[in-house]
Structure 1
Amino acid sequence: MEQTGKEVAEDTGSTPGRMDAGDTGYGSVQGRGQPGGAGGSETAPLLIPEPAPGPEPVQHWKPMTKQELESAAGGPGWRKMRCYLVLLFWLAWVAMLAGSIAIIVMSPRPAVVPLKWWQKSLFYRLQPDLFMEAQTEGSGGINAMCEQLPYLKSLGIGALILEGLFDEEVSPLDLNNAGRFGALPQIKHLIAASTKTGLKMVLDLCELDLLGPHDVSRNTATIQHALRFWLEQGVAGFAICDNDAAYSEKTLLEWRDVINEFSSKDEERIVVVKQTRDVLLPLNFTLVNLVMRTILPSSRHHLSTPEVAAAIKTRLQTTEENIWPSWTIGGKASHDLKKLLLVLMMTMPGSPAVQYDDAIGQTQNESLKVSFSHEEKNESSDTEDKLTPNSTVALFSSLSRSRAREEAILYGSLTFLPYRIPTNSSSNSTLSYSPILAFLRSWGCVHFLVLLNVGSEFHILDPAWDPGLHKEGVFVASTGMDRLGPISLNTLELQPHEAVVIKF
């Protein structure tokens, strides 16, 4: 059935004759639930825009007060974090310490061979007749030597080789008339004074006819009796030349038997052989403790610069494992090369044996003057030594201290470093010899570079000379003792007749 308009109006709940959209407002009629409420205008916008934002309020920051800071820092979170940080710091520190110790322990190091006293000592060749120039009596000379012993000990000297005490007329076998410079009590006093000072004393028996023209067996017994007598007085050993008639394996065996009777673990007595020939006789060198060798060959005249350079180069390249060497200068060299040869002798492997020098032997008693060598004594050298005694003593002391405390100089290996002089542009030729000689003493991670300028000209090291060397080092000693502090090899200029020792 069709519904009437009235019924439709009743169903929709609206007034008859009006068209409504139910809950939705239309035209001028505001729907229920719409914004604007009753009486809203038909022109009201459906979407109301948000008001424009105003300026943000300025926030004024201020530091926390002491109470607020203590409250925030003292919270449980901060306390835990601090504990964790402190724990982490100490764990990292302990780990680094343990790692460092492990690296040191596991790093390979050369095995340190314990050296005997004669391998570590600096020997001083002392001639008593040099003291006689200022003394009128032999006993006075011996007393002067005794007064000199503490000064020599302070320079780092450990042993004395007493030369010229006996001659062919006064034999060490004649115990009733011992010594050229005093009776037996004076000699015993000198030995006792050296022992009290802490200096070992070796008696030089070179160039003495110990066997004599008499019965050999009787002389052998006499020699052994005399050796025992001097060993009982405190002598540390004896020196014999390789050109002596008594120098033989049979003699060395007899001497070794006597010396072993007086040797102990703490106080070993020694046998020293002075080499005068170019080659030693093929003997059993286990019977010999020390072989004293010369750096320069013997000559009646002063060696030229090329001859000195060639002799040094030969010595640096010659090594013998079964012989412990003791170096001395030997031949004649110019006065300018004395300090250079001293640096060389004190830095080579072995035990240096320095000859008595007036510059080194300076004491409070200025009347005691001795020369480096009898043949080299002249007015010019004496004048120069008197002007620069302090530098020589300082050089000697510096080298002796370095030998006493540096393992690289005592135990280290020697590596000869050939140095090539660049071409001389003026003459378009190279030098026939190299005036620059160098060698390296190495032990573990410690290296000592020794540079010797034998020539009479300045020389600057070529930066590309040895790429494997460190370029930065520190001066240890120099012949003029005027170089101190760090040095770069790229800027090093060697002066004429100068020797330097650099530690890397």
Structure 2
Amino acid sequence: MEPAEETDSMTGRMPLNAGDAGYGSVSGPGLSGAAGGSETAPLLIAVPEPQPLRQWQPLTKEQLEVAAGGPRWRRLRCYLVLLFWLAWLAMLATSVAIIATSPRPVVTPLEWWQKTLLYELPPAAFRAEEGPGGIDVLCEQLPYLRSLGIGTLILEGLFDKENLTVTGESLGTLPQIQHLLTESSKAGLKVVLDFCGLKLDGAGNKPSNLSATVHPLRFWLEQGVAGFVICDTDAAYSEKTLLDWRGVFREFSSQEEKRIVVVRQTQYILPPLNNSSQTNKMLVDVVMRSILPSSHHILSAREVADAIETHLQIREDIWPSWTVGGKASHDLKKLLLVLTMTLPGSPTVQYDEEINQTQSASLNVGSSNGEKNDSSGTNTDKEKEKRTAVALFTSLSHSRAREEALLYGSFTFLPFNTSTNSSSASNSTLASPSSPLILAFLRSWGCVHFLVLLNIGPELHTLDPAWAPSLPAAGVFVASTGMDRLGSTSLYSLELRPHEAIVIKLFESGSYS
């Protein structure tokens, strides 16, 4: 051993020039003794460079055939597409055949008088407090009446009993009536003159080549009148007279503007013109029937219910026009309006001050003249009642105008079972749980049904869940006498208030008609 090496061994010092056995080759726990140790390894690990993206290229025809399974798959695919379209066409043809062969309502074209709402104007509507200025006031209200859904005006008590071309002095002059006819035409309203109870064969009817009643008809038809009303007790209600009228009507009628004859029925059954009822159907266009019988006293709730059910049992081929006619309590006024507007036929509504446009103005004037607070409160109640009456009238008229079921749908009486509220039943003597004063009927067209419920009595009634099980249980309110029922409802949870009428459009659960 060399002296230097011994010295190093003895002193315990590591030689500086360790050569291949330097720091990099020192072995120890956790250290690599290889040549590429921690001192000689790079500090950062090299990341391999990303491969360049391969550009997409469409497959060639050969590659596509190989990927799709070859030419066989192409033919199979064509067969599957052809089979799909054939199945689709078969289902479409089956659906069309089912719709074409399934029973459906037959749409019968309606004449203008079958779709209109008639509004009777008595002489009071023409009179003014001072002079005959009521005609001018009525002319200003014509657009308002048209907005309510009214289509035809019936002018009553307008003429002298001996001459149908002369009006009463208190009702306005002939030029004013002609002006009213002109303004009505501009507003889209037709006018029908009421000749009921008048002497139609007076001295003023001079033409000798025609019937004695033809001359006044021709005069008013030239002014644009749409028709005339006579009573079934008038002498004009005869086959000879009506045939003469038909001859005159043909001269002034067109396909869109036909002239009509309305017969006001005053008897329980309309008397036939002769032994054949077919003549009535040809010569009379509309029969105006009263729902309530004429009486000198106000009918009770039981009498009203019996009259409604009795009169609606009559079925004739002549187109009906229903009006209230008799006297009923004020509580039943709105109920009878709902009934009139939902029955088959053309409703005839009598003049009502609550829907008069000038009524609200008079209320406002009265409350601004220093009246007492209680009078002001009364006027507020009247104004609220007027708004409710206008809303009910408008809702019913517009629903009838757009709903086929209310225009020419079928009419069905419904059997009714109710459970009477015990607290109200104990205080009532007009009805009993066994015979409630409730009527119900259905207007149907296809799958659309309108249910009309009438609670004529003063009791609160809840519908029995077992009532009319074939009807859909759900529906939506269309109108009610208080105009306070909105949204959807269920027949199983519906309560009828005293003197209330409700119109509900029924639909299947989960869907709307």
Distance 1:121 1:224 in 2: 26
Change (3 A) 1:246 1:131: closer
Matched, 1:324 2:319: yes
User: 1:91-490 to 2 correspondence within 5 Å?
Assistant: 99-133=94-128, 135-138=129-132, 140-168=133-161, 171-174=163-166, 180-212=170-202, 221-283=211-273, 284-285=279-280, 286-320=282-316, 322-362=317-357, 366-367=361-362, 385-422=382-419, 430-431=432-433, 433-490=435-492
**Contact map agreement 1:448 1:502 (CA 8 A) in 2:** yes
Give TM-score, length-normalised by structure 1. Answer: 0.75
Distance 2:149 2:397 in 1: 6
1:366 is displaced (CA, Å) by 1.7
Q: Which digits, 9 at most, give the CA deviation of each residue in 1:211-249, with x for residues without a partner? A: 248999969755311110100110001111112233322
1:467 is displaced (CA, Å) by 1.6
Change (3 A) 1:240 1:383: farther
**Contact map agreement 2:292 2:307 (CA 8 A) in 1:** yes
Give unpaired runs (5+ residues) of structure 2: 1-52, 274-278, 365-374, 507-513
1:178 is displaced (CA, Å) by 7.1
| Correspondence for 1:36 | none
Q: Which digits, 9 at most, give the CA deviation of each residue in 1:243-278, with x for residues without a partner? A: 223332222222222112211111100001111111
**Which residue identity lines up with residue 267 of structure 2 in the other structure?**
R
Greater shift, 116-125 or 470-479, is seen at 470-479
Q: Which digits, 9 at most, give the CA deviation of each residue in 1:116-171, with x for residues without a partner? A: 000111101112433434x4221x211111111111111111111111111326x3
Change (3 A) 1:77 1:159: same
Distance 1:188 1:443 in 2: 41
Greater shift, 406-415 or 384-393, is seen at 384-393
Give unpaired runs (5+ residues) of structure 1: 1-65, 370-378
**Contact map agreement 1:473 1:502 (CA 8 A) in 2:** yes
Change (3 A) 1:219 1:368: farther
SS of structure 2 residue aligned to 1:109: coil
Distance 1:337 1:481 in 2: 15
Distance 2:445 2:321 in 1: 20
1:363 is displaced (CA, Å) by 5.2
Q: Which digits, 9 at most, give the CA deviation of each residue in 1:55-101, with x for residues without a partner? A: xxxxxxxxxxx9899999x9844998999999998887766655544
CA radius of gyration, larger in: 1
**Contact map agreement 2:211 2:241 (CA 8 A) in 1:** no
**Which residue identity lines up with residue 110 of structure 1 in the other structure?**
P
Identical pairs, percent = 63
Change (3 A) 1:424 1:120: closer
Change (3 A) 1:197 1:83: farther
Greater shift, 337-346 or 476-485, is seen at 476-485
Change (3 A) 1:225 1:396: same
Distance 2:254 2:214 in 1: 19
**Contact map agreement 1:358 1:385 (CA 8 A) in 2:** no
Q: Which digits, 9 at most, give the CA deviation of each residue in 1:432-478, with x for residues without a partner? A: 74311000111111111110010111100001111211111111111
**Which residue identity lines up with residue 234 of structure 1 in the other structure?**
G
**Contact map agreement 2:191 2:225 (CA 8 A) in 1:** yes
**Contact map agreement 2:193 2:229 (CA 8 A) in 1:** yes
Change (3 A) 1:214 1:231: closer
**Contact map agreement 1:422 1:430 (CA 8 A) in 2:** no
**Contact map agreement 1:316 1:416 (CA 8 A) in 2:** no
**Contact map agreement 2:419 2:463 (CA 8 A) in 1:** no
Distance 2:294 2:486 in 1: 36
Change (3 A) 1:257 1:399: same
**Contact map agreement 1:236 1:269 (CA 8 A) in 2:** yes
Change (3 A) 1:423 1:242: same
* Count of equivalent residues: 422
1:311 is displaced (CA, Å) by 0.9
Distance 2:456 2:312 in 1: 14
**Which residue identity lines up with residue 446 of structure 2 in the other structure?**
G
Distance 2:94 2:363 in 1: 59
Distance 1:471 1:120 in 2: 30
**Contact map agreement 2:121 2:154 (CA 8 A) in 1:** yes
Distance 1:262 1:368 in 2: 44
**Contact map agreement 1:202 1:235 (CA 8 A) in 2:** yes
- Cα RMSD over matched residues? 3.6
**Which residue identity lines up with residue 348 of structure 2 in the other structure?**
A
Give TM-score, length-normalised by structure 2. Answer: 0.73
Distance 2:357 2:77 in 1: 67
Distance 2:205 2:390 in 1: 50
